């Protein structure tokens, strides 16, 4: 199927929430055709004051007051779309309610069928059952802004904060007859914003607004396979009662205090270590690294830290490229440290890439045996650049810009089945959205994968090191930032990787050492010869970090007031 899809919208009136309007806008600007509005034509019931008071759900009073007067969700702001949809035909429908389910009458179904829709986007009505579920070729698409395997019902994004769940999920599903057992068309996982219900709700709503057009594009390009319906047996949640809501508000206040404290007074300090074990032995063992097995680089200058190590072997010595970050100026450079295996000593860090602002994640590619390349992160330059080792000068020089006009984070380049693959995230969604580009040549024309972003998952998207093979399988390290940035690493096994397909599944978890000075996080693991390089994190208060955070807060506040 190569033609744009025809779709209808289920709605309740002339207004949509901002995130809903954005979902429709993206579908239409993507070439898909909105051909009908399916309106809920039931009259809103009005009650006299006494009856309203008598039937008001006072057991949920705190939540309702909070939602009405304090939530202030940007995503839920109402947008009048009457003028935008003025030329779109409208079908006014009266549904029949049976228990908690709603059924369309035959005459309305016949009208809807006459438009020969590919799908219907549900932005109104309630629990739907009956023939309406099959009236469009690809059914009715509906959002659920929680992980359906944990939280069915609602309110969206609420219970994750209440139960201190580090991850919040969202799905776009094709509805089936069974409640909460839809066919998952798109799913994503984000870090729970524990300090703010508004922030958590908004991120779930906004991030899912692009999913209908993504799925529609995939179908237009030939997608025919869909997973079986969800088999969730999770508990069904409802609007919280007053006591739960009181506890929630106290928790939210305390989480906000902790969030601000961490922002100002807990600066990250990383260091790089080397282990005389293979990467597959460490990454797939599902056991913590022992601190006594790690040889850490000695302390560098005050206010500096070292992270993101990658290396190559030259004349028996291990050359380690790494990020050298300075809190004073808020910038990072690419430095090189040479490790001598015989004496187990490190040289002092020396810069090897000059003239660029804030470079990090110096991913190493050894090609044709004696050619060493580096692909550092340079998102502030909006490029992905390839550097080549200059052996006579002992540095790296710019060879070629691989991709322009892209703020890529942690670009990871490797060869697999006749293609060079570039994995990275983008700055705006650096911990969640995984993108792929590919080329038949190392320096060639890199093209985007047709499913980009191929994955949205706070627990296993952002690249975290060297992909490696073990027993015929390809594994890819990725950061798990669900609890904190750089907390631990997920080792993914890549199941499918072609220009048309991508699938990977978690295979192991790598956590930092349980003891030692740098035991608060790990976000890079790379292979060099028979050795493995890692980094480790600790926290401490830093004056420059504090003042940088103050300046950022002031600038953001000024930006909101412009």
| pLDDT tens for each residue of 306-344 | 999 999 999 899 999 999 999 988 889 999 999 999 999
Asked if residue 560 belongs to a domain, the reply is no
Q: What local confidence, expressed as pLDDT, does residue 46 receive?
A: 53
Element containing residue 408 per DSSP (H, E): strand 408-416
**Could you read off the pLDDT of 154-211 as tens digits, one per residue?**
999 999 999 999 999 999 999 999 888 899 999 999 999 998 999 999 999 999 999 9
In a domain, 537, yes or no: yes
My answer on whether 270 and 325 are in the same domain is yes
Specify the DSSP element, H or E, that contains 474: strand 473-480
How far apart CA 335 and CA 254 sit, in angstroms, is: 40
Structure tokens given for 540: 């401490």
Of 227, 259, 291, the residue that ends a domain is 259
**Residues paired with 448 in a beta bridge:** 437
193 and 56 assigned to the same domain: yes
Domain boundary, last residue among 241, 259, 277: 259
In a shared domain, residues 447 and 489: yes
For residues 285 and 159, state if they share a domain.
no
Please tell me the predicted confidence (pLDDT) of residue 562.
37
CA pair distance 502, 418, nearest whole angstrom: 16
What CATH number is given to the structural domain containing 346? 2.115.10.20
On whether the CB atoms of residues 287 and 475 are closer than 8 A, the answer is no
- Looking at the structure, tell me whether residues 88 and 235 fall in a common domain: yes
Sheet architecture: strand order including 101-103: 96-98, 101-103, 127-128
Domain of residue 107, CATH code: 3.40.50.170
Q: Which of 259, 281, 315 is the last residue of a domain?
A: 259
| CA atoms within a 13 Å half-sphere pointing along the CA-CB vector of 360 | 23
CA distances (Å), origin 214, targets 49, 115, 121, 196: 47, 22, 13, 28
Listed in sequence order, the residues at least 6 apart from 404 whose beta carbon sits closer than 8 Å to its beta carbon are: 382, 383
Same domain assignment for residues 43 and 134: yes
Residue 37 lies in a domain: yes
Which class for 522: exposed (0-12), middle (13-18), buried (19 or more C-beta within 10 A)? Answer: buried
Can you read off the two tokens belonging to residue 113? 């069928």
The least confident of 103-112, 292-301, 350-359 is 350-359
Beta strand 267-275 with 295-296: parallel, antiparallel or unpaired?
A: antiparallel
Give the pLDDT of residue 481.
94
DSSP assignments along 413-467, one per residue: EEEETTEEEEEEEEGGGTTTEEEEEEESSTTS--EE-TTSS-EEBTTT-SB-B--
Q: What size, in residues, is the chain?
A: 562
In a domain, 558, yes or no: no
Whole-prediction pTM value? 0.86
Do 271 and 335 lie in a common domain? Answer: yes
Which residues constitute the domain of residue 243? 6-259
Number of domains the chain is built from: 2
> Is 52's pLDDT higher than 80?
no
Give residue-wise pLDDT tens across range 366-397. 987 779 999 999 999 999 999 999 988 889 99
Do 157 and 78 belong to one domain?
yes
Question: Which of 48 and 271 is assigned the larger pLDDT?
Answer: 271
Which tokens sit at 71? 């939530």
Output the pLDDT for position 50: 64
* pLDDT > 70: percent of the chain: 96
Residues 131 and 40 in one domain: yes
Can you tell me which residue has the tokens 């040479």?
338
Q: Are residues 274 and 203 in the same domain?
A: no
pLDDT of residue 465: 96
Kindly list the distances between the CA atom of residue 228 and the CA atoms of 100, 182, 225, 279, in Å, as whole numbers in the listed order. 25, 8, 10, 36
556 in a domain, yes or no? Answer: no
Same domain, 332 and 481: yes
Residue 132 lies in a domain: yes
3-state secondary structure 68-97: HHCCCCCCCCEEECCCCCCCCCEEEECCEE
- Top pLDDT among 387 and 220 is at 387
Tell me the C-alpha distance between 122 and 95, whole Å.
14
pLDDT the model gives residue 42: 72
CA separation, residue 360 to residues 49, 323, 465 (Å) = 64, 5, 13
Residues 215 and 302 in one domain: no
Structure confidence at residue 140 as a pLDDT band (50, 70, 90): very high
Average pLDDT, the chain: 91
Domain-embedded: residue 207: yes
Distance CA 301, CA 62 (A): 52
Is 96 part of a structural domain of the chain? yes
Question: Order of strands across the sheet with 295-296?
Answer: 295-296, 267-275, 531-540, 525-528
Q: Which tokens is 452 given? A: 């980009």
- Per-residue pLDDT, averaged over 244-249, amounts to 94
List the one residue out of 185, 147, 23 whose CA is nearest residue 457. 147
């Amino acid at each position: 199927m190569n033609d744009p899809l025809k779709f209808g919208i289920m709605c309740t009136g002339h207004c949509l929430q901002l995130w809903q309007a954005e979902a429709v806008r993206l579908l239409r600007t993507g070439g898909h055709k909105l051909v009908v509005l399916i309106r809920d034509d039931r009259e809103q019931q009005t009650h006299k004051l006494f009856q309203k008071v008598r039937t008001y759900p006072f057991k949920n009073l705190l939540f309702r007051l909070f939602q009405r007067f304090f939530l202030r969700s940007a995503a839920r702001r109402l947008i009048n779309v009457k003028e935008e949809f003025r030329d779109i035909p409208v079908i006014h429908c009266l549904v029949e309610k049976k228990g908690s389910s709603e059924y369309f009458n035959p005459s309305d179904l016949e009208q809807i069928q006459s438009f020969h829709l590919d799908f219907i986007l549900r932005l109104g009505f309630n629990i739907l059952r009956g023939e309406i579920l099959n009236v469009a070729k690809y059914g009715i698409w509906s959002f659920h802004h929680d992980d359906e395997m944990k939280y069915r019902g609602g309110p969206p994004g609420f219970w994750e904060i209440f139960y201190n769940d580090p991850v919040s999920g969202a799905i776009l599903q094709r509805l089936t007859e069974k409640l909460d057992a839809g066919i998952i068309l798109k799913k994503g996982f984000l870090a729970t914003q524990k300090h703010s219900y508004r922030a958590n709700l908004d991120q779930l709503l906004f991030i899912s607004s692009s999913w209908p057009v993504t799925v529609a594009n995939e179908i237009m390009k030939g997608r025919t396979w869909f997973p079986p319906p969800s088999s969730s047996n999770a508990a069904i949640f409802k609007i919280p009662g007053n006591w739960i809501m009181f506890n929630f508000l106290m928790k939210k206040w305390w989480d906000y205090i902790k969030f601000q404290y961490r922002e100002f007074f807990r600066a990250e300090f990383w260091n790089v270590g080397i282990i005389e074990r293979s990467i597959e032995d460490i990454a797939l063992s599902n056991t913590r690294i022992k601190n006594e097995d790690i040889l850490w680089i000695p302390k560098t200058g005050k206010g500096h830290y070292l992270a993101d190590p990658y290396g190559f072997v030259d004349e028996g010595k291990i050359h380690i490229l790494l990020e050298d970050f300075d809190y004073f100026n808020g910038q990072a450079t690419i430095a090189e440290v040479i490790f001598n295996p015989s004496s187990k000593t490190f040289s002092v860090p020396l810069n090897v890439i000059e003239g660029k602002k804030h470079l990090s994640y110096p991913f190493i590619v050894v090609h044709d045996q004696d050619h060493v390349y580096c692909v550092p992160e340079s998102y502030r330059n909006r490029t992905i650049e390839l550097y080549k080792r200059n052996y006579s000068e002992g540095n790296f020089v710019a060879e070629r810009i691989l991709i322009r006009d892209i703020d890529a984070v942690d670009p990871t380049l490797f060869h697999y089945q006749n293609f060079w693959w570039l994995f990275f995230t983008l700055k705006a969604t650096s911990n969640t959205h995984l993108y792929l580009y590919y080329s038949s040549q190392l320096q060639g024309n890199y093209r985007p994968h047709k499913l980009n972003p191929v994955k949205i998952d706070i627990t296993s998207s952002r690249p975290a090191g060297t992909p490696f093979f073990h027993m015929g399988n390809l594994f890819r390290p990725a950061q798990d930032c669900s609890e904190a940035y750089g907390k631990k690493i997920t080792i993914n096994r890549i199941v499918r990787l072609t220009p048309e397909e991508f699938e990977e599944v978690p295979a192991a978890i790598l956590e930092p050492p349980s003891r030692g000075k740098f035991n608060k996080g790990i976000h890079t693991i790379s292979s060099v010869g028979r050795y493995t390089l890692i980094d480790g994190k600790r926290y401490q208060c830093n004056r420059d970090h504090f003042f940088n955070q103050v300046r950022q807060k002031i600038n953001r506040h000024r930006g909101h007031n412009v």
